[in-house]
């Protein structure tokens, strides 16, 4: 029979501490990690999707305390772009001539503007000319609820560079619509067919 010296005890204690730390880490995150095919479209704030009990990512400096949600629900959920079983609504902004907002989000003049929305929900899209060089034409929308997806007028408010056009779409799956703010003063030179695939 052999006896253990101090170095052996320290080594055994270190291994035990490591094992306990690993067990604690596993028990605080007992649900599988949440993944999303839209993870690359997470919003600019860097917030993530949290699901499954008290596990998940923290956002804005919030700390995961391991306590259940304050509202008594079984699951805490914070959904950012791309989270929670949502689908992607894509708005093609023809030649970057519009400033586009989806469901009251941040306006963008990008060629493609996307938002994560719940399947079956109605999305509201607002577009206005990106500058005074452009204007809202007679049928700036394709793929929206108005006119069964064909060229549609939307609901227009105002005139000139401050005019807005609003359209809606019921999003049933990943979906694409398009909008064009044509050449001023009449909104001409927009496509006559839907640029979406």
Statement: residue 141 has pLDDT above 90: yes
Q: Among 8-12, 25-29, 66-70, 84-88, which range has the highest average pLDDT?
A: 84-88
Contacts of 169 (CB under 8 A, 6+ apart): 89, 122, 123, 125, 143, 144, 145, 175, 177
104-123 confidence digits (pLDDT tens):
999 999 999 999 999 999 99
153-164 confidence digits (pLDDT tens):
999 999 999 999
Eight-class DSSP state of 88: E
Q: Are strands 121-129 and 164-171 parallel, antiparallel or unpaired?
A: antiparallel
- pLDDT recorded at residue 8: 55
Mean pLDDT over the full length of the chain: 72
- pLDDT recorded at residue 175: 95
Alpha-carbon distance values, 183 to 36, 163, 195 (Å): 39, 13, 17
% of the chain beyond a pLDDT of 70? 58
Alpha-carbon distance values, 179 to 34, 41, 102, 145 (Å): 34, 21, 12, 13
Distance CA(170)–CA(145), nearest Å, equals 7
What is the model's pTM? 0.59
Structure tokens at 119: 């399947």
- pLDDT recorded at residue 148: 86
Q: Are strands 155-157 and 112-117 parallel, antiparallel or unpaired?
A: unpaired
Residue showing tokens 């094992």: 19
Report CA dihedral (176, 181, 186, 191) to the nearest 10 degrees.
-40
1-33 confidence digits (pLDDT tens):
445 454 454 444 444 444 434 443 333 334 344
């Amino acid at each position: 029979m052999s006896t253990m010296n101090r170095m052996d005890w320290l080594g055994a204690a270190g291994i035990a501490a490591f094992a306990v730390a690993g067990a604690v880490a596993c028990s605080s995150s007992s649900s599988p990690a949440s993944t999303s095919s839209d993870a690359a479209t997470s919003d600019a704030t860097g917030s993530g999707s949290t699901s499954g009990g008290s596990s998940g990512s923290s956002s804005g400096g919030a700390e995961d305390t391991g306590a259940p949600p304050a509202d008594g629900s079984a699951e805490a959920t914070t959904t950012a772009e791309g989270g929670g079983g949502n689908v992607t609504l894509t708005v093609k902004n023809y030649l970057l001539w519009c400033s586009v907002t989806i469901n009251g989000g941040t306006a963008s003049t990008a060629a493609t503007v996307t938002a994560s929305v719940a399947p079956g929900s109605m999305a509201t899209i607002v577009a206005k000319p990106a500058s005074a060089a452009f204007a809202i034409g007679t049928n700036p929308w394709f793929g929206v609820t108005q006119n069964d997806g064909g060229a549609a007028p939307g609901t227009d408010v105002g005139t000139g560079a401050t005019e807005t056009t609003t359209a809606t779409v019921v999003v049933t799956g990943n979906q694409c619509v398009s909008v064009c703010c044509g050449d001023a003063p009449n909104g001409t030179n927009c496509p006559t067919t839907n640029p979406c695939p």
